[in-house]
A and B are shown apart, each in its own frame.
Chain A
């Protein structure tokens, strides 16, 4: 059996969505011109979870971006064109959105959809009914988790601005092909999604990078971008490698 095909089998756990948050219910968030703000929303489950989702900017037709991404206001932007960027973190009992608007002239309103996934060390929870009807459909596939682990690591102190320290961790999966993965940075009990970008930078001054091949995954944790000295920081990387490719 190829676990990349549609299958339900108790040997292959899948992501479990524990809660969702939707601006259709909570309302959009308006951010003034040329500023950045934070907004916090409570969650029913009083634990940090693995946050995923995207956001859009009203008036920018059809555009969505993952948290940590950029949405340009103009239709034909250049690198430094005005944009709206949103990051997310999950804390025990809440999520926080960090929103930056680089448009000097206009306020903008964002909408968002957030799905909070169970951690590998989540433990029992009081499941909350989700707004959409429950369906499993063989026209869809559901990513099956091949290896789920939490990697504790420490990035050394940084003693000069603009420099960074790194910690590298390699884990094997030995699937023989390049799998899909998700990774999250946990620092001080708060969790942020991290791919190869700077999604984790805004409040903890960290980021992770991932490199994948047919047998291994490398994570490089950066302690960086400090305006001054940065202390050594202990992190946990939530690494979720899927059978799917």
Chain B
């Protein structure tokens, strides 16, 4: 059957993504002093979601930024000299600052639910970077999960 999915369509051959669950919360990332190339890994922060969920949309807001980030998987959040000077609350000698997030899912052994684990790390950029002082900041998290036609 030929259909145009960009029209409003309810067609039994097409699927939709139902969103049964959401979660939100926040945690604090501590202040750190890091020598060149050092990494601080914050303990994973876990958020329970439905065990059968298929997809997850995760948004993160760092306390020193005004915008939420729509994140997926693995990558850098704020990582170059262009970002830090724009923030009056932070001071990074040399301007080098890297913050990574890693998101993965597993089963909470206590509840049996699937959980979204968010891992944040902070590091100076290279071993030749000067020591940096980073302030504590909050991290807000929003999670929406979906079911899919499998």
Chain A residues engaging chain B, CB cutoff 8 angstroms: 8, 10, 12-18, 20, 22, 52-54, 60-72, 78-79, 85, 113, 115, 118, 120-132, 134, 136-137, 139-143, 178, 180-183, 193-199, 207, 209-213, 218, 244
Contacts and interface: CB of A to CB of B under 8 A. Distances in A.
Interface in B13-43: 13-20, 39, 41
Interface string B43-81: 000000000001111111000011111111111110000
Interface string B128-140: 0000000000000
B91 interface: no
Given A62-B106, A127-B3, A113 B75 contact: no
A211 B112 CA distance: 33
Interface residues of B, number: 59
Nearest to B77: A196
Interface of B: 1-20, 39, 41, 54-60, 65-77, 100-107, 114, 121, 142, 144, 146-150
Contacts of A131: 149-150
B70 A140 contact: no
A16 B16 contact: yes
B69 A210 contact: yes
Contact of B13 (A53, A121, A127): A127
A54 B4 contact: no
Contacts of A129: 12-13
A191 B52 CA distance: 27
Contact of B17 (A143, A193, A209): A143
B105 A211 contact: no
A211 B68 contact: yes
B2 A125 contact: yes
B70 A143 contact: no
A72 B2 contact: no
Contacts of A126: 1-2
8 contacts: A16-B5, A17-B14, A18-B5, A61-B106, A63-B105, A127-B11, A181-B70, A212-B59
